[in-house]
Amino acid sequence: MSDVILVVNAGSSSIKFKLYRVADGAPALLLAGAMSGIGSRPALSVTDGAGAVVDARGYAPGDVPDTAAAQHCVADWLRHHVGEAAITAVGHRVVHGGPAHAEPVRIDDAVLRRLESFVPLAPLHQLRNLDPIRVLRQRRPDLPQVACFDTAFHRGQPEESERLALPRALYDEGVRRYGFHGLSYEFVTGRLREIAPGVAGGRVVIAHLGSGASLCALEDGRPRETTMSFTALDGVPMGTRPGSLDPGIVLHLIAQKGLSPAEVGHMLYHESGLLGLSGLSGDVRALLASDRPEAALALDVFCRRVAQAVASLAVTLGGLDALVFTAGIGENAPAIRQRVVAALAWAGLSLDEAANRAGAGRIDAPGSRAEIRIVPTNEELTIARHTLRLLGRPVPA
């Protein structure tokens, strides 16, 4: 009897899920779906493994007011269309594993309590990640559930990359540079070994550019440094998050502007980044389509900060053998890739413009001092593989 693995990726206003059937240790995609617009305009969409639409339906806002209700809706749909009992295990993306978790872990009461304690470190994500776990534990207490952490991949980075220039006692309490998007980096690193083994063992910077964005430096496939830090606010500007920020600004907002910590938090997580810069949108697609100068400014800042991050991480590595773009913007926005690489021309990087526009796998021009690649990410497949391993099933390398 084959395993059927459900992978759940819960966000602030959506739950994405994929269902895999496992034969000979290799997960094969059966279904992919999303419950979007939670609390406002809830809608469920499901496609099969080939991308054909299986179902699309809307819900009244009151029927899906929060992530827990959304998970109940998804579970009900799976029960009617797949058979809830057919699911062997569930793997979850959990943003923050804190100092306790450097590997995926099977969830029990103690693990769940520990993960709840990390909510202040990732308030935009962690609670939403945990809601589906609670719902599924209620519906099927016997069902194995596995937490896979966005922070875990970076736990192998050197101590000097983890340290913040703060009193040492805070580090001992867990105040350190964690890094995020680790599930994406893990997948892309593995994929790079398959398609470009010559550079996978060298000095590589991966740019995970989406509504959340970060970059990671790797040497011989191992993490050396990343742009995100203690929380998912740090690094390059994002859709609604500011990226690196003078901490004195937070003190100013509280002491001089009279904002409460909660109000500052809302500003930093929901009103900043590309949205704050442009006053128009946090979506790169909308900004690229706009002729407003504010949109152009926001994109200028974003591309410059990404290029600066590449250069900074190259210092950590002592050079650069490959630059890899991934995630929604990195995979699908040739104009952004072009502008980032153009800002790195001084370092000898150059694009093949036709290959870049076509979204080819390799997009560097002849003579570029580093390879430049596009590698689509697949966090859900990484989670499915980890879930199988924790079930004791063999998984192909």
pLDDT the model gives residue 61 = 84
> What pLDDT does residue 122 have?
79
How far, rounded to the nearest angstrom, does the alpha carbon of residue 133 sit from its chain's CA centroid?
19
% of the chain with per-residue pLDDT over 90: 82
To the query of whether residue 150 is one of the catalytic residues in this protein, the response is yes
Catalytic annotation, pick one of 3, 131, 150, 364: 150
Per residue in 132-145, pLDDT (tens digit) is 999 999 999 999 99
Q: What's the confidence (pLDDT) of residue 124?
A: 73
At 397 the pLDDT is 58
DSSP conformation class of 345: G
The whole-number pLDDT of residue 391 equals 87
Q: Which position has the higher pLDDT, 291 or 3?
A: 291
Q: Kindly report, residue by residue over 46-63, the tens digit of the pLDDT.
A: 999 999 999 999 999 888
Structure tokens at 19: 């269902």
Per-residue pLDDT of 203-233, as tens digits, reads: 999 999 999 999 999 999 999 999 999 999 9
- How far is it, in rounded angstroms, from Cα 144 to Cα 41? 32
Classify residue 127 by burial, with Cβ atoms within 10 Å: 0-12, 13-18, 19+. middle
DSSP 203-263: EEEEEEESSSEEEEEEETTEEEEES--SSTT-SS--SS---S--HHHHHHHHHTS---HHH
Given pLDDT bands bounded at 50, 70 and 90, which one contains residue 396? low
Residue 393 is predicted with a pLDDT of 75
pLDDT of residue 139: 92
- Compute the distance between CA of residue 328 and CA of residue 101 in angstroms, rounded to an integer: 27
Name the most confidently modeled range: 121-125, 129-133, 297-301: 297-301
pLDDT bracket for residue 83 (50, 70, 90): confident
